């Protein structure tokens, strides 16, 4: 899934990076101002741990297994690896985590992945429709995501960009982003702001202030708007001004590769 | 009062065909040895409850012992799918699997209600999602004070809850620490409780933050060192991540899984798993 990209020629001294590395580095940067982050396993965990090594050393990582303020020295495979508890500021039970900490509104940023995402940032991680003659494809299910999406101050989503993942209509709505459009979160009584950015391997999408529909606001270096359109399963809205993300720095790449290798 | 006894006897006495069984442990302290004893004894038609079915329920489902699964996240953490779970749901192999599916917050609160002797629990959850459309155990309730509509989830009261803990003492009290998950609630919600432990000690040394289940809340304790493997017991073992990764290839293929079952439980294999 990773495609090699090379630095622009005027940065010929800079190292090359993969599209996955671009995604992860930009996801970590999105946590620069956060105090606390509820971390899903996989890409979100990689990005949040990278943030603690680069943009935000004081970031409090919270894992649904009960670890608050985990400081793992290497990437955990599961959300319940022993090192998360051993290095945590506090370890709490699962009901306490979901009721007092998450539902209580004490967590700034929820960081989620997705199997399917729609134009309003709603997420499916439950089932996929594989056609009339085939059984539904089974995904892991909801886990903590519905209430993370509902109750964190804001939500970041990280996923690889493809028409299979970025779909016109979800097969199942597991977690609510901006629902059916602007104002829907308030109508549903969801207290957090919902998704503020979707970081992919091609660029960054953010909800429009007027419609809540995701629009392309930044491209990663070397990526074109057409590439993103082709990888999106709905007619993609594009912001009037599309920026380009800063290339990964040598420090970011070194930290990320060390994290992955450990 | 709890009794300290061999695992085989405790499982045979406490867990029966058709029971609703919760085997909890949130990544940490998962009672694998007790699950393997269930496979050995071919206790079947079970309704299994667990927030994260994990490899432990993948094995029980693949062995054909499970009728229904109550859960909130069914993956192999950090690795991928639970293939036996998927095969049962998608293809009915080795038998169809009924699902009652929730979010983690919902499942945690279902145990809290069960432990509290309440018929349901209240939470801010599920709103705007499709989850409520596939289960009869989520509804809504109106707050009598504010008028706000909130989610209501039905209590879970398993026939049996099985957990793994670090220690029991000679008096039959149980103690566990580290990531303590939802085990206290799952145990107190159940009619019967079986605990496997790393070791039985004469008396507990002080340990702030540990969860203690008094002996009179537990029916049976079995001393099974390493009984959580490939999960782990903080202070005794570390999570065997390589085992979780290797399970993917075993579970992905029906023949490979059946060979694992034959190899691991050789005496129980005479036509035991329906094709």
Inform me whether the C-beta atom of residue A151 falls under 8 Å from chain B C-beta atoms: yes
Whether B136 maps to a domain, the answer reads yes
What is residue A203's three-state secondary structure? Answer: strand
CA distance A144 to A66: 12
Give strand ranges (E) for chain A.
4-5, 17-18, 36-39, 60-63, 67-70, 90-91, 109-112, 116-117, 123-124, 127-128, 137-138, 154-158, 195-199, 203-207, 214-219, 237-244
- Pairing verdict, β A195-199 and A203-207: antiparallel
pLDDT tens, A48-78?
999 999 999 999 999 999 999 999 988 888 8
Kindly compute the dihedral angle of the four CA atoms of residues A174, A180, A183, A187, in this order, to the nearest 10 degrees.
Answer: -60
The packing angle between helices B54-62 and B241-252, to 10°, is 30
Active-site residue, A215 included:
no
A83, burial (CB in 10 Å: exposed 0-12, middle 13-18, buried 19+):
middle
Asked if B10 and B23 sit in the same domain, the reply is: yes
How does residue A252 score in pLDDT terms, banded at 50, 70 and 90? very high
DSSP code, position B153: E
Query: How many contacts (CB atoms, under 8 Å) link A and B?
Result: 170
**B210 at interface of A, judged by CB pairs closer than 8 A:** no
Residues B87 and B185 in one domain: yes
Q: Do A142 and B109 touch (CB under 8 A)?
A: no
Both B48 and B176 in one domain: the answer is: yes
**Angle at CA of residue B213, ends B207 and B216, nearest 5°:** 135
Structural domain of B119: 104-108+115-154
* CB-CB contact of B71 with B103 (8 Å): no
Spell out the residues 6+ positions from residue A225 whose beta carbon is closer than 8 angstroms to its own.
A216, A219, A238, A242
Flag if B128 and A176 touch (Cβ within 8 Å).
yes
Give residue B267's pLDDT: 72
Three-state secondary-structure class, residue A240: strand
For residues B133 and B197, membership in a common domain is answered with: no
Say what the alpha-carbon torsion angle B83, B137, B182, A67 is, to the nearest 10 degrees.
Answer: 80
B17 with B73, same domain? Answer: yes
Kind of pairing between the strands at B3-4 and A137-138: unpaired
Q: What mean pLDDT comes out for the span A202-208?
A: 98
B275 occurs within a structural domain: no
pLDDT of residue B201 exceeding 70, the answer is yes
- Reading the block at residue A130, the tokens are 């594989």
- CA-nearest residue of chain B to A75? B78
Does B111 lie at the interface with A, CB-CB under 8 angstroms? Answer: yes
Q: Mapping DSSP to helix (H, G, I), strand (E, B) and coil, where does residue A84 land?
A: helix
Question: Nearest by CB to B124, which of A65, A151, A172?
Answer: A151
Confidence of residue A262 (pLDDT cuts 50, 70, 90): confident
Provide the pLDDT confidence category of residue A82 given band limits of 50, 70 and 90: confident
Residue B233 · residue B164 · CB < 8 Å: yes
Q: Which of residues 164-223 of A touch B (CB under 8 A)?
A: 172-176, 179, 184, 188-191
Residue B69 lies in a domain: yes
| Backbone φ and ψ of A60, nearest 5° | -90, 115
Shared-domain flag, residues B123 and B193: no
B9: contact with A, CB 8 A cutoff: no
Chain A, nearest residue to B84 by Cα: A138
Among A77, A138, A147, the residue with its CB nearest the CB of B105 is A147
Question: Locate tokens 């049962």: which residue?
Answer: B88
Identify whether B274 is part of a domain.
no
Contact B112 A184 (CB under 8 A): no
| Torsion A178-A155-A21-B249 (CA) sign | negative
pLDDT of residue B269: 52
User: Closest Cα partner for B74 from B87, B93, B55?
Assistant: B55
| B58 shares its domain with B186 | yes
* CATH fold of the domain at A12-255: Glutaconate Coenzyme A-transferase (3.40.1080)
b/e sequence B2-18, b meaning 16+ C-beta within 10 Å: bebeebeebbeebbeee
- pLDDT average, residue stretch A160-184: 97
B239 close to A (CB below 8 A): yes
Residue to substitute from A123, A141, A174, interface B, most B β-carbons within 10 A:
A141
Q: What is the dihedral of CA A9, A15, A19, A22, to 10 degrees?
A: -100
DSSP line for A11-62: GTTSPPEEHHHHHHHHHHHTTTT-SEEEE-TTHHHHHHHHHHHTT-TT-EEE
CB contact under 8 A, B91 and A135: yes
Pick the more confident residue, B1 or A244: A244
Residue B236 counted as domain residue? yes
The domain limits of chain A are 12-255
What does the alpha-carbon distance between residue B233 and residue B212 come to, in Å, rounded to a whole number? 15
Q: Is A124 helix (H, G, I), strand (E, B) or coil?
A: strand
Q: Do B150 and B170 reside in the same domain of the chain?
A: no
A135 touches chain B (CB under 8 A): yes
pLDDT tens digits, B212-261:
999 999 999 999 999 999 999 999 999 999 999 999 999 999 999 999 99
Q: Same domain for B8 and B96?
A: yes
Residue B214, CB-side half-sphere exposure with 13 Å CA sphere: 2
pLDDT at B4 over 90: yes
A218 contact partners, CB below 8 Å, separation of at least 6: A203, A204, A242, A243, A244, A245
Q: Are residues B149 and B181 in the same domain?
A: no
Cis peptide before A25 (omega within 30 of 0): no
CATH number for the domain harbouring residue B207? 3.40.1080.10
- Asked if the C-beta of B236 comes within 8 angstroms of chain A's C-beta atoms, the answer is no
Average pLDDT over residues B117-132: 97
Are B96 and B144 within one domain?
Answer: no
pLDDT digits (tens, 9 = 90+) for A10-26: 444 454 999 999 999 99
Counting the structural domains of chain B, the total is 2
Asked, for residue B175, whether it belongs to a domain, the answer is yes
Cross-chain residue pair B127–A176, CB shorter than 8 Å: yes
CA distance to partner chain B, nearest, from residue A150 (Å):
7
- List the single residue in B with minimal CA-CA distance to A84: B179
**pLDDT exceeds cutoff 80 at B29:** yes
Nearest residue of chain B to residue A68 (CA atoms) = B179
ipTM exceeds 0.90, yes or no: yes
Given this model, what pLDDT does residue A4 score?
Answer: 46
Contact check, Cβ <8 Å, A77/B244: yes
Q: Is A95–B126 a contact, with Cβ atoms under 8 angstroms apart?
A: no
Q: Could you give the 3-state DSSP secondary structure of residue A217?
A: strand
Give yes or no for residue B151 having a pLDDT over 70.
Answer: yes
Pair (B221, B135) in one structural domain? no
């Amino acid at each position: 899934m990773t495609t090699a990209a090379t630095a622009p020629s005027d940065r010929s001294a800079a190292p090359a990076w993969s599209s996955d590395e671009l995604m992860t580095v930009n996801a970590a940067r999105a946590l620069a101002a956060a105090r606390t982050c509820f971390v899903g396993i996989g890409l979100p965990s990689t990005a949040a741990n990278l943030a603690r090594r680069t943009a935000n050393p004081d970031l409090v990582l919270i894992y649904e297994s009960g670890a608050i303020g985990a400081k793992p020295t290497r990437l955990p495979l599961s959300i319940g690896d022993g090192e998360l508890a051993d290095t945590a500021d506090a370890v709490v039970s699962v009901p306490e985590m979901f009721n007092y900490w998450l539902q209580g509104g004490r967590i700034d940023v929820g960081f989620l992945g997705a199997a399917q995402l729609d134009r309003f940032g709603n997420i499916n991680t439950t089932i996929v429709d594989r056609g009339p003659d085939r059984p539904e494809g089974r995904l892991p299910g909801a886990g903590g995501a519905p209430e993370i999406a509902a109750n964190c101050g804001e939500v970041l989503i990280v996923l690889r960009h493809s028409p299979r993942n970025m779909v016109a209509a979800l097969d199942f709505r597991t977690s609510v982003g901006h629902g059916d459009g602007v104002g829907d979160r308030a109508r549903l009584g969801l207290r957090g702001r919902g998704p503020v950015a979707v970081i992919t391997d091609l660029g960054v999408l953010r909800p429009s202030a007027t419609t809540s529909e995701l629009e392309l606001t930044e491209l990663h270096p070397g990526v074109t708007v057409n590439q993103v359109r082709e990888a999106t399963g709905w007619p993609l809205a594009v912001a009037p001004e599309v920026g380009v993300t800063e290339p990964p720095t040598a420090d970011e790449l070194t930290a990320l590769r060390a994290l992955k290798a450990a | 009062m709890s009794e300290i006894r061999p695992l085989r006897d405790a499982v045979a006495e406490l867990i029966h065909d058709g029971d609703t069984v919760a085997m909890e442990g949130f990544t940490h302290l998962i009672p694998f040895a007790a699950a393997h004893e269930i496979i050995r004894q071919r206790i079947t038609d079970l309704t299994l409850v667990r927030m994260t079915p994990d490899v432990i329920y993948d094995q029980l489902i693949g062995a054909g012992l499970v009728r229904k699964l109550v859960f909130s996240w069914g993956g192999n953490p950090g690795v991928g799918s639970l293939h036996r779970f998927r095969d049962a749901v998608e293809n009915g192999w080795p038998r169809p699997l009924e699902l009652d599916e929730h979010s983690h917050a919902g499942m945690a609160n279902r145990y809290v209600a069960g432990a509290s002797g309440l018929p349901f629990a209240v939470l801010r959850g599920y709103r705007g999602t499709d989850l409520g459309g596939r289960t009869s155990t989520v509804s809504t309730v109106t707050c009598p004070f504010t008028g706000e509509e909130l989610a209501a989830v039905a209590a879970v009261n398993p026939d049996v809850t099985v957990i793994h803990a670090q220690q029991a003492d000679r008096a039959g009290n149980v103690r566990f620490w580290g990531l303590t998950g939802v085990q206290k609630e799952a145990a107190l919600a159940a009619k019967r409780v079986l605990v496997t432990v790393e070791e039985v000690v004469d008396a507990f040394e002080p340990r702030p933050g540990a969860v203690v289940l008094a002996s009179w809340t537990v029916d049976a304790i079995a001393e099974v060192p390493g009984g959580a493997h490939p999960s782990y017991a903080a202070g005794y073992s570390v999570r065997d991540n390589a085992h979780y990764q290797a399970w993917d290839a075993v579970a992905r293929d029906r023949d490979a899984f059946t060979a694992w079952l034959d190899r691991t439980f050789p005496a129980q294999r005479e036509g035991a798993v329906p094709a």
